[in-house]
Amino acid sequence: MPSFASNLICPYCYQPFPARKVLFRCTGLLGPKGERCAPARDPALSRRFGMNEPLPPVFGGRLPVVNALRTAARCPRCGGESTLRVCPHCHSQLPVHFGRVDSRLIALIGAKGSGKTVYMTVLLHELMHSVGRRFDAAVVGSDDHTRSEFSKKYEETLYRRNVLPGTTRPGQAELRRPLVFKVTLDGGRRLLRARDRHTITSFFDTAGEDLISRRSVDLNVRYLRAADGIILLLDPLQMRGARAGVRPGTPLPELDERTDSPVNVLTRVTEVLHEAHGLGPSRRIDVPVAVAFSKIDALRHAFPPDSPLLRDPPEDRPVFDQTDSLAVHDHVRALLHEWDGAQIDQIMRRNYAAFRYFGLSSLGGSPTADNRVDPRGIHPYRVADPFLWLLSRFGAVPSTKG
């Protein structure tokens, strides 16, 4: 999405709106007239995200529009000035630079139990720590909800209590709120651009069960339609051909009527994207899709010694390494044939203009029998690759020529 686009897309509810329609939330501080706007439950936030905390009122549309992206407005009730911009649909507070910096919505999808919630947690943790250091990037939650949700719920569960998350509640896409982060790359030390560059990324962790029936896929249609990039997480342990070769002792996900084969998930997501973008069956979808195979730790023992999935990605420079990534891509494509997943490759080639295969492991090893993090800790492998590939496609990080 270009900056100054007339239509912005809210990173929380993924609904589009023209920049001039943005609303403001009163600060709730004492205004110049000596009045103060009282906080109350916001029906829009409550309906869509189940957020009921009392907040000062929302207002808008009163001032002459000097600049569609105006950053402050005066509250008609108390007369106080506010810079807190909110989405006209869901009333979520918009990130500080929203509308003037790149905003990229990244949908994370995959079947039930494919590892999405664990992956999102580990990826963001890595981005905030090691990967962030390498790219000299600051990755911060862009609102209070994201900051507290991420640290109290996601990080706390996995990194401090060492418990794997339970199934993400299905059917409640309306109540679950994407996590919105701002990635700031330090311009001074970057190769391509001189100024700091901000990218707002919004992650929506779907409930795998929402992908089972055609009807519940539609729940996620809005998220898929608005996505600038998609990370499709597929679980090789749910593929017949791969299950046969897992490291002995690896707990295998049960395949029951609530899980769906990766091929079926991909087929359905492809149909939805075709429909959402109004494309005929012969047109290819041009949203970049990172097809990432999770839980690679359970299969690596059988890879040939020269496999790129046995080495670490080059991490000495703040660039996305295309040569390494293409080697992984080719290797995963070859593995797909062994895993009885040749159909996945056919679907990708026929329907997508830009896709790449990845192999990763969020935990770096199997969880324990009672589904806790192994006491040896979390050792993520290649988790940042799909995200960095998307960022490089968005022009937000440099990449080497492949």
Ligand X SMILES: Nc1nc2c(ncn2[C@@H]2O[C@H](COP(=O)(O)OP(=O)(O)OP(=O)(O)O)[C@@H](O)[C@H]2O)c(=O)[nH]1
* Count of CA atoms in the C-beta half-sphere (13 A) of 363: 25
Please choose, out of 45-53, 108-116, 186-194, 312-320, the segment that lies near Mg ion by the rule CB under 5 A: 108-116
Please choose, out of 93-101, 113-121, 135-143, 265-273, the segment that lies near ligand X by the rule CB under 6 A: 113-121
Please say which residue, 116 or 243, places its beta carbon nearer to Mg ion: 116
From the list Mg ion, Zn ion, ligand X, none, partner contacted by residue 78 (C-beta under 5 to 8 A by kind)? Zn ion
d(CA 56, CA 106): 30
Q: Does 325 bind ligand X (CB under 6 A)?
A: no
**Which of 241, 166, 263, 163 lies closest to 205, judged by CA?**
166
Whole-number minimum distance, CB 270 to ligand X, in Å? 19
Please choose, out of 90-98, 123-131, 269-277, 363-371, the segment that lies near ligand X by the rule CB under 6 A: 363-371
d(CA 47, CA 24): 19
Please choose, out of 66-74, 84-92, 98-106, 112-120, the segment that lies near ligand X by the rule CB under 6 A: 112-120
Among 19, 37, 246, 269, binds Zn ion (CB under 5 A): 37
From the list ligand X, Mg ion, Zn ion, none, partner contacted by residue 87 (C-beta under 5 to 8 A by kind)? Zn ion
Q: Does 75 bind Zn ion (CB under 5 A)?
A: yes
Q: Does 103 bind Mg ion (CB under 5 A)?
A: no
String of contacts with Zn ion for each residue 137-176, x by CB under 5 A: ----------------------------------------
Tokens 């897309």 belong to residue? 9
List Cβ neighbours of 196 (8 Å cut-off, separation of 6 or more). 184, 185, 186, 187
Q: Does 392 bind Mg ion (CB under 5 A)?
A: no
Whole-number minimum distance, CB 119 to ligand X, in Å? 6
From the list Zn ion, Mg ion, ligand X, none, partner contacted by residue 10 (C-beta under 5 to 8 A by kind)? Zn ion
Q: Does 26 bind Zn ion (CB under 5 A)?
A: yes
Please say which residue, 42 or 126, places its beta carbon nearer to ligand X: 126
List Cβ neighbours of 92 (8 Å cut-off, separation of 6 or more). 10, 12, 13, 45, 49, 86, 143, 145, 177
The residue of the chain with the least Cβ separation from ligand X equals 208
Cβ count within 10 A of residue 286: 11
d(CA 104, CA 247): 37
Among 13, 106, 200, 292, binds Zn ion (CB under 5 A): 13
d(CA 177, CA 191): 35
Separation in Å, CA 82 to CA 86, 135, 374:
11, 34, 48
Classified as helix, coil or strand, 69 is coil
Whole-number minimum distance, CB 113 to ligand X, in Å? 4
Site for ligand X, residues 283 to 302, rule: CB under 6 A: 294-295, 297-298
* Count of CA atoms in the C-beta half-sphere (13 A) of 315: 14
Among 8, 9, 19, 90, binds Zn ion (CB under 5 A): 90
Please say which residue, 80 or 380, places its beta carbon nearer to ligand X: 380
Q: What is the H or E stretch that residue 139 is in? A: strand 137-141
Q: Does 117 bind Mg ion (CB under 5 A)?
A: yes
**Which of 173, 172, 128, 176 lies closest to 153, judged by CA?**
176
d(CA 264, CA 130): 35
Two structure tokens written together for 31: 């205004």
Could you give phi then psi for residue 194, rounded to 5 degrees? -85, -30
Rule CB under 5 A: which residues touch Zn ion? 10, 12-13, 26, 37, 75, 77-78, 87, 89-90, 92
Rule CB under 5 A: which residues touch Mg ion? 116-117, 168
Rule CB under 6 A: which residues touch ligand X? 110, 112-118, 164-165, 167-168, 207-208, 294-295, 297-298, 361-363, 366-367, 371
